[in-house]
Amino acid sequence: MSDRPAVVRWLATPRFVLIAIIVVLVAVLTAVKPSFLNGAFVLAPLITSITVFTVVGLAQMMVLSIGHMNIAVGQMAAFGAMASGISFDLFALPLAAGLLLGLVAGAAIGALTGWIIARTGVNSFIVTLAMSFALLGLVPTVYSALSTGSAFVVKPEGFDLLGRSSFSSVCLAGWCGPAAIPLMVVPVLVVMALVGLLYQRTRWGRELLLTGSNVTAAELSGIPTARRIVMAHTLSGTLAALAGILLATSIGSFTPSIGDEFMLQSFVGPILGGTLLAGGYVSVVGTFLGITLTLVIRKGLELFGVGIETLNVLLGVILLVALSADRVREIRLRRGRAPGSAPGRPSGSTPDRTPDAEEVPA
């Protein structure tokens, strides 16, 4: 275990760096563009985007924890949202039932993907890429066959409240919350807490991380790695579907284009936040901070009138920087494990240190 104080260790984490950059960036944008603090037209859409993309980042983080990736995260979001849209439009199901159906659809497609990977041993990149192409064809076809104008627009009671209401619409004893904070922040915070508890407090979470850290060592330890692969992809599909549904509630309808912008952000957030691309190390709060940084940058550039092409170039550069930082962190972790490893411990297994509260090491 490191002899450095906990505060010093925290200051060296990617999370602290992200917080510092976000604070400075917000201060600069506020000074240069005071309109950045406009609640209804800037902050509310920004926070809505952060909540949706945080769930997308967590969906990708799930499979990154086992050393896999999910190229189909955007299409799984569209598939889950489509299932909810069908339940509302064609079967007039209530909000809770339709949301549950969408999550089940996302879980099912994720479980199928994980089962194929575990059963065949084919690389997750190949399988999820194939699943992405399959869903790219399936989802628009279903919309064309079952909807008018390629969209499901029927809204059950509570739909607009979830997607378009803010705390200003919730008043207690004459006090109303801020208009800039959407209500969908609440379920996303709950999801973040549950994912954090999964990795920090449950055996399943520890087994997911050990599978990502060293699959051979995990199998020798008796961990059912094939089941954990299926589990990780199932949870990834479920969270992707949730993100798609939240996006649909924010825009007011279900369309086949839901999830088109998800893939790049799904990698940028977790990797910037400290999650290792090679697996075995995740950070829930870091994922949130990584997403927040990229979207604050994006919103700032939009206020300056920068076009979408420049935004995409910048996001690509950010991803390259994040991948480089990920490689550096992986090398440092592996070097740090070797000298203090216990006898018989394979390289790449659990590091000898105490996890921070918000960050979950393998």
Residue 360, beta-bridge partner list = 282
Q: Do residues 150 and 128 touch, judged by C-beta distance below 8 A?
A: no
Q: Is the dihedral of CA 340, 341, 347, 349 positive or negative?
A: negative
* Structure confidence at residue 338 (pLDDT): 57
Q: Is residue 322 part of a domain?
A: yes
Please tell me the distance from the alpha carbon of residue 291 to that of residue 317, in angstroms, as a whole number. 15
DSSP secondary structure string, 65-103?
Answer: TTT---TTHHHHHHHHHHHHHHHHHTT---HHHHHHHHH
What pLDDT band is residue 360 in, cutting at 50, 70 and 90?
A: low
Distance in angstroms (rounded) separating the CA atoms of residues 244 and 237 = 10
Q: What percent of the chain has pLDDT over 70?
A: 86
pLDDT tens string 271-318: 888 888 888 889 999 999 999 999 998 898 888 887 777 777 877 787
CA distances (Å), origin 85, targets 132, 138, 238, 255: 20, 15, 16, 9
Q: Is 172 a domain residue?
A: no
Element (H, E) at 171: strand 171-172
- For residue 5, being part of any structural domain is answered with no
Query: Can you point out the beta strands (E) in 40-116?
Result: none
Residue from 35, 27, 112 nearest 76 by CA? 112
Which amino acid belongs to residue 354? T
* Among 271, 283, 258, 358, CA closest to 52: 258
In which band, very low, low, confident or very high, does the pLDDT at 13 lie, cut at 50, 70 and 90? confident
* Torsion 288-214-108-263 (CA) sign: positive
Structural domain contains residue 1:
no
pTM of the model: 0.87
Distance separating alpha carbons of residues 229 and 250, to the nearest angstrom: 32
51-60, 172-181, 271-280: range with highest mean pLDDT: 51-60
> Quick check: 229 pLDDT over 90?
yes
359-361 and 171-172 strand pairing? unpaired
For residue 112, what are the domain limits? 14-167+177-339+347-361
Q: Distance from CA of residue 39 to its chain's centroid?
A: 25
pLDDT-derived band of residue 342, with 50, 70 and 90 as boundaries? very low
Instruction: Give me the CATH number covering residue 127.
Output: 1.10.3470.10
CB contact at 8 A, 112 and 230: no
Q: What is the mean pLDDT of residues 38-51?
A: 89
Q: Is residue 227 part of a domain?
A: yes
Distance CA 44, CA 50 (A): 10
Residue 3 lies in a domain: no
Kindly tell me the sign of the dihedral angle through the C-alpha atoms of 267, 268, 269, 271.
Answer: positive
Supply the DSSP symbol for 254: B
What integer pLDDT is reported at residue 264 of this predicted model? Answer: 87
In degrees rounded to 5, what are phi and psi of residue 237? -65, -40
In a domain? residue 7: no
- Cα 144 to Cα 338: distance, rounded to the nearest angstrom: 56
Comparing 12-16, 17-21, 42-46, 123-127, the range with the smallest average pLDDT is: 12-16
Quick count: other Cβ atoms within 10 Å of Cβ 339? 7
Q: What residue type is assigned to position 238 of the chain?
A: T
Tell me how crowded residue 24 is: count the other CB atoms within 10 A of its CB: 10
pLDDT of residue 317: 81
Q: How many domains does the chain have?
A: 1
In the predicted model, what is the mean pLDDT of residues 213-231?
A: 95
In a domain, 232, yes or no: yes
Structure tokens at 261: 């912008």
Q: Is 110 left (phi over 0), alpha (psi -120 to 50) or beta?
A: alpha
